[in-house]
Amino acid sequence: MGMKMEKGRQQRKRHILGGPLSDVEVETLQEMASHHRHANFRRRALGVLALNDGRSGPAISGVLRVSVPQLYNWALAWRERGLMGMLSGHVGGAPRKLTAPLLQTAVQVACDESLTLAKIAQRVKEQHPDAPSFSLSRLSVGLRSHGLSYKRNRLSLKKTRSTAL
């Protein structure tokens, strides 16, 4: 690592990525920047490549339209986990309203008797009065993932999974 003089004091230049990228890493990130199906992953790859080229954080963030701290978070993810750090990004958002216990109750109610989605939701709310409200479409998706499907013209759930053990 080189030394540089800045305003009368000696300062060691630190590489933000933990060191320069290898040729294989650069090629991988270039492919990711060009061909990944999600734009946010393409942007991350471009940001790390620009940091590797020695460009400043504020300059890169202006071009990529991200905040400087976000850019440094990408660099930290690269340092700590490499490519996997780049691919396992933000998993934020609001907590799920239809939680696993609520969904399990809904599946049990749906299996016990043939009801409409609204009636299933009502029964779930009766059993879990403190649970957050959830949409009927989310309930439909959740039940479908457990092998139960809802058809509007049938007004009840079709049980597609086998009940025999």
Give the tens place of pLDDT for each residue, 102-157: 999 999 998 888 888 899 999 999 999 998 999 999 998 899 888 887 665 555 55
**How far, in Å, CA of 159 to CA of 143, rounded?**
10
Place of tokens 């993810």: 77
Q: Are residues 81 and 118 in the same domain?
A: no
Residue 93 lies in a domain: no
**pLDDT exceeds 50 at position 74:** yes
**How far, in Å, CA of 95 to CA of 153, rounded?**
32
Q: Are residues 77 and 134 in the same domain?
A: no
- pTM metric for this prediction: 0.51
8 A C-beta contact, residue 41 and residue 28: no
Residue 80 lies in domain: 3-87
Q: Which of 9-23, 88-102, 110-124 reaches the highest mean pLDDT? A: 110-124
Of 39, 65, 87, the last residue of a domain is: 87
Reported as a pLDDT band with limits 50, 70 and 90, residue 25 is very high
What pLDDT was estimated at residue 12? 45
Give the tens place of pLDDT for each residue, 29-55: 999 999 998 888 999 999 999 999 989
**How far, in Å, CA of 70 to CA of 66, rounded?**
7
Q: What single DSSP character describes residue 16?
A: T
Of 27, 55, 87, the last residue of a domain is: 87
What pLDDT was estimated at residue 1? 45
- Burial profile 34-71: b = 16 or more Cβ within 10 angstroms, e = fewer: eebeeeeebbbbbbbbbbbeeeebeebbeebebeeeeb
What pLDDT was estimated at residue 89? 64
In the chain, % helix, strand, coil (3-state, to 5) comes to 55, 10, 35
Show the DSSP H helices in 53-92 as ranges.
Answer: 57-64, 68-81, 83-87
Counted domains in the chain: 2
What are the E-state strand segments in the chain?
Answer: 3-6, 9-12, 148-151, 156-159
Q: Are residues 73 and 126 in the same domain?
A: no
Of 87, 119, 147, the last residue of a domain is: 87
Q: Are residues 141 and 119 in the same domain?
A: yes
Q: Are residues 15 and 75 in the same domain?
A: yes
Mean pLDDT of the chain: 82
